[in-house]
Amino acid sequence: MKFFADTSDINEIKDLKEYGLLDGVTTNPSIIAKSGKEFIPLIKEICEITDGPVSAEVAATDYKTMRKEADVLRNIADNIAIKVPLTQDGLKVCKELSDEGTLVNVTLCFSSGQALLAAKAGAAFISPFIGRLDDICFQGLDLIADILIIYDNYPEYDTEVLVASIRNPMHIIESAKMGAHVMTAPPKVIKQLYNHPLTDKGLAAFVADWEKTGQSIL
Ligand code: G3P
């Protein structure tokens, strides 16, 4: 499973990279607003640090303006993935950019029918938002299962399932069990995967027992 960081925080991105946990980055207008930084220079900096795809989202919602914005964004770096909303106009932009060899991440997906449309438009990634479905009492993970079944039925679809709106480590584990290609999560949630009380307890016992030996490896 590829790990994307759902953040624009440069320090967090660098940190995940050092631990081998950074296969790409996703951003959205809310993440950029939270950063308080200039969008284009910030994305450029993230692209320089990140070896994999960096998703940068268009701001407009009409076809013509989205297309113009996408042309600006894809000139930032070779590893840009243009993020477009799952609307008719968004998928029109997706189809054109994909035909031209640009990676497109189709965002705000909440149904398997929408995911089918994104695959037909040639999206590199479909981003189903599972946390937001959980928030309204729908099983977000069920959507991942459905999309994977549909995509598996049609091997000609190259679209990767990028599980988004992840809120906890179980979202990552359950998505990985189903074979989702990519997940994007806040760095804090990714790091929660390290945690287990038995690891802490076991390590404390090993440290204490080693001290009793009075030995040193170095
Ligand atoms: O980047 C898209 C998605 O991951 C947003 O998540 O937590 O705002 O629902 P969230």
Ligand 1 neighbours by CB, cut-off 6 Å: 6, 26, 28, 129, 131-132, 164-165, 184
Among 44, 83, 92, 191, the one annotated catalytic: 83
Distance CA 165, CA 26 (A): 11
- Residue 99 Cα to ligand 1 middle (Å): 27
Q: Which of 132, 138, 188, 189 to mutate to test the pocket of ligand 1 (most atoms within 8 A of CB)?
A: 132
| Ligand 1 atom with least separation from CA of 31 | 1
Q: Are 83 and 103 in contact (CB under 8 A)?
A: no
Residue nearest to atom 5 of ligand 1 (CA): 165
Q: Are 28 and 22 in contact (CB under 8 A)?
A: no
| Ligand 1 atom with least separation from CA of 167 | 7
Concatenated DSSP letters of 14-81: HHHHHTT--SEEE--HHHHHHHTS-HHHHHHHHHHH-SS-EEEE----SHHHHHHHHHHHHTS-TTEE
**pLDDT tens per residue across all 218 residues of the chain:** 999 999 999 999 999 999 999 999 999 999 999 999 999 999 999 999 999 999 999 999 999 999 999 999 999 999 999 999 999 999 999 999 999 999 999 999 999 999 999 999 999 999 999 999 999 999 999 999 999 999 999 999 999 999 999 999 999 999 999 999 999 999 999 999 999 999 999 999 999 999 999 999 99
Q: Are 103 and 81 in contact (CB under 8 A)?
A: yes
Which structural domains are found in the chain, ordered by start? Answer: 2-213 (3.20.20.70)
Could you confirm whether 83 is annotated as catalytic? yes
